[in-house]
Chain A
Amino acid sequence: GAGVSQSPSNKVTEKGKDVELRCDPISGHTALYWYRQRLGQGLEFLIYFQGNSAPDKSGLPSDRFSAERTGESVSTLTIQRTQQEDSAVYLCASSIQTGRTDTQYFGPGTRLTVL
């Protein structure tokens, strides 16, 4: 079946502009995660959705970052007034809630470059 998809695959923007990153999880997966991965670095947790609600937003680095999820499917990560330090690959993952640490299925990521 279809995996997690993300769009766009690459995004180049100018400093100060807003960007929207999209994630389409695997159908039926109630949990959705966003991560940030800077070049050569590990994964940095940003936010987690259970259904349409976000129990934990503590990983969002600043108030310029926001995310929403509608219909227990698509999620959008929005970065306002982008800065050069926002340049990274943004990864989305989804999982089925099983009551234990769920296997996360990752998308290919969106590579964001802020000039």
Chain B
Amino acid sequence: LAKTTQPISMDSYEGQEVNITCSHNNIATNDYITWYQQFPSQGPRFIIQGYKTKVTNEVASLFIPADRKSSTLSLPRVSLSDTAVYYCLVGGPTGTASKLTFGTGTRLQVTL
């Protein structure tokens, strides 16, 4: 079972780049890495997903080293509205949902 570890919290100023790292030493060959964002009183929302190397979309980048034992979510130029909890999820293809494991989440606080 792929267990994930993230920092409990991070603080940043508006306009800075924020990097949140997730450790997943027991990641399996078929596992993908997915990051979700959760605001208070809402369900998590998909941010980005990757398998290896680097993935970039309009809101974030995901860096995955060759050994895939960790991954880093990079948020460029954060704003106050990026204050949320960020979860790292490691899991395999559909049908192996029991191995879907959310990390404890990283609480990001962005201030002026």
Residues of chain A touching chain B, judged by Cβ–Cβ distance below 8 Å, are 4, 31, 33, 35, 41-43, 45, 48, 50, 55-56, 58-59, 91, 93, 95, 97-109
**Residues in A neighbouring B41, C-beta threshold 8 A:** 108-109
Q: How many residue pairs between the two chains, A and B, have CB atoms under 8 Å in the bound complex?
A: 73
Q: 17 A-B pairs, CB-CB below 8 angstroms?
A: A42-B87, A42-B103, A42-B104, A45-B98, A45-B100, A58-B98, A95-B94, A98-B94, A100-B93, A101-B31, A101-B93, A102-B94, A106-B43, A106-B44, A108-B43, A109-B41, A109-B43
Whether A4 touches B43, Cβ cut-off 8 Å, given contacts A102-B94, A103-B49, is: yes
B-to-A contact residues, CB < 8 Å: 31-32, 34, 36, 41-46, 49, 87, 89, 91-95, 97-98, 100-105
B104: A residues at CB distance < 8 A: 41-42
Q: Are B98 and A91 in contact (CB under 8 A)?
A: no
Distance in angstroms between the alpha carbons of A101 and B32 in the assembled complex: 6
Return chain A residues, CB-CB under 8 Å to B95: 50, 55
